[in-house]
Amino acid sequence: MHCDATNETNVLPPTGARVLVAMSGGVDSVAAAALLTRAGYVCMGATLRMTGEPPTKSVFEPCCGIQAVEDARRVCDRLNIEHRTVRIVEEFDRHIIAHFAAQYAAGLTPNPCIRCNRMIKFGLLYAYAKTWGFDYIAMGHYARLSIRGGRMALRRSTHRPKDQSYVLAPLTQPQLRRACFPLGEMSKDAARAVAAEVDPATGAKAESQEICFVADRNYARIVEARHGPATPGNIVDIDGNVLGRHKGIYHYTIGQRRGLGISAPQPLYVIAMDTVTNTLVVGRDEQSLCASFTTGPVFRGALAPDATVFRALVQLRYRHTPVPGTVTITKDGAEIELETPQRAVTPGQWAVFYDPEDYVLAAATIRSFVLPK
């Protein structure tokens, strides 16, 4: 790993800089801390306690739970660096969990990890970092950071299967200037080997794909606890014909095929949700494809400040394969035309715009879409 700010493929802080490493106790954050410490940076580990402990111990251990704190502290001791724990349960509940529940209740499908990166890890945590005398924050995310046209620009990780630039895409220029991603040019296996050198138990940890506050993937339970029981309503086809009943809008998401409780000669997908009439609209595969959509405000990455119309590879979800499209920035967002219509263009999710060299040009939340007639 070449830890030098002149490395244009993945810019890191100047040698000897003070770097706060956000540590979950997992493989990636431990590898990041080890690499930076060995490269001569002045590091400290910090673990965010974002959720309270469940009433009973479950198999799932959130990345911000008690065991995670203990694991991170043990690793920091082995690296001979200080470790601190920051309890932000109330702030996380207000800014992340409550927002997540409200979005679902409104028929949207949010990505809480993106919001958490922007508001908590590169927002609230950085405030603590400054107080403690640290100018940079390091994350164990797989993404690269470059300077392009005088702007800080995120770029996909060289190890594409683990690339996480999508969930970092809306970070602002001030946030990117204090960011550090030491795993940007590493594979997961290489990071695991680095972590295992420090702590074999950490190196052997399995990955968790769960949202930290929704361990059982039961999103509806989170929404119901804050907004009351869901109200059943009609499931209709694109012409308004009633096909069945749904158990509440927030039990579903755009693009869903299973669990609809209706039979049809061809597979049906959720293609729209009308929260005003409490109606779920379903359609056949070709009726679920979308070529045009609009977004909310655009967060610019490598995109020049004066650019208003540009071509990009458009990624609609974390695991979505990007497709070419044209983006036109408007006064309150953007209008996008895709070359190839896509299924499950989902309001509440983020659209991230890349160039052919894997740089993040810009990002914005999907607001509305146009279905085929």
CATH code of the domain in which 328 resides = 2.40.30.10
Q: Which of 242, 257, 283 is the last residue of a domain?
A: 283
10: left (phi over 0), alpha (psi -120 to 50) or beta: beta
In percent, how much of the chain has pLDDT > 70?
Answer: 92
Flag whether the pTM goes above 0.85.
Answer: yes
In the predicted model, is pLDDT for residue 65 greater than 80?
A: no
At 193, is the secondary structure helix, strand, or coil?
A: helix
Whether 218 is in a domain gets the answer no
- Same structural domain, 331 and 257: no
Q: Which pLDDT tens digit goes with each residue over 238-283?
A: 999 999 999 999 899 999 998 898 988 889 999 999 999 999 999 9
Q: Which of 283, 304, 324 is the last residue of a domain?
A: 283
Whether 211 is in a domain gets the answer no
Whether 114 is in a domain gets the answer yes
Whether 2 is in a domain gets the answer no
For the residues of 87-103, what is the DSSP string, one character each? E-HHHHIIIIIHHHHHH
- Same structural domain, 275 and 297: no
- Stretch 108-129: mean pLDDT: 93
- Same structural domain, 269 and 332: no
- Same structural domain, 186 and 321: no
367 to each of 112, 255, 320, 326, how far by Cα in Å?
Answer: 16, 16, 18, 17
Whether 351 is in a domain gets the answer yes
Whether 106 is in a domain gets the answer yes
Does residue 116 have an active-site annotation? yes
- Is there a contact between 136 and 121 (Cβ–Cβ < 8 Å)? no
pLDDT at 209: 62
* DSSP summary character for residue 131: H
**CA–CA gap between residue 38 and residue 105 (Å, rounded):** 47
- Same structural domain, 183 and 296: no
- Same structural domain, 246 and 334: no
- Stretch 55-74: mean pLDDT: 62
Q: What domain range is 130 assigned to?
A: 18-203
In the predicted model, is pLDDT for residue 60 greater than 80?
A: no
Task: Please pick, among 64, 116, 180, 290, the residue that the annotation labels catalytic.
Answer: 116
- Same structural domain, 146 and 269: no
- Same structural domain, 179 and 43: yes
Q: How many distinct structural domains can be found in the chain?
A: 3
Does residue 43 have an active-site annotation? no
- Same structural domain, 36 and 164: yes
- Same structural domain, 254 and 308: no
Q: Which of 257, 283, 309 is the last residue of a domain?
A: 283
Q: Within the chain, what is the greatest distance between any pair of CA atoms?
A: 67
**CA–CA gap between residue 100 and residue 50 (Å, rounded):** 15
**CA–CA gap between residue 323 and residue 308 (Å, rounded):** 19
Whether 26 is in a domain gets the answer yes
Q: Which pLDDT tens digit goes with each residue over 187-211?
A: 999 999 999 999 887 777 777 666 7
- Same structural domain, 238 and 117: no
The secondary element (H helix, E strand) that includes residue 201 is: helix 200-203
Q: CATH number for the domain including 243?
A: 2.30.30.280
For Cα atoms 217, 221, 222, give the angle at the middle one, nearest 5 degrees: 90
Task: Please pick, among 43, 64, 76, 212, the residue that the annotation labels catalytic.
Answer: 212
**CA–CA gap between residue 327 and residue 351 (Å, rounded):** 11
- Same structural domain, 260 and 293: no
Instruction: Name the residue with tokens 């749904």.
Output: 246
Whether 4 is in a domain gets the answer no
**CA–CA gap between residue 363 and residue 115 (Å, rounded):** 13
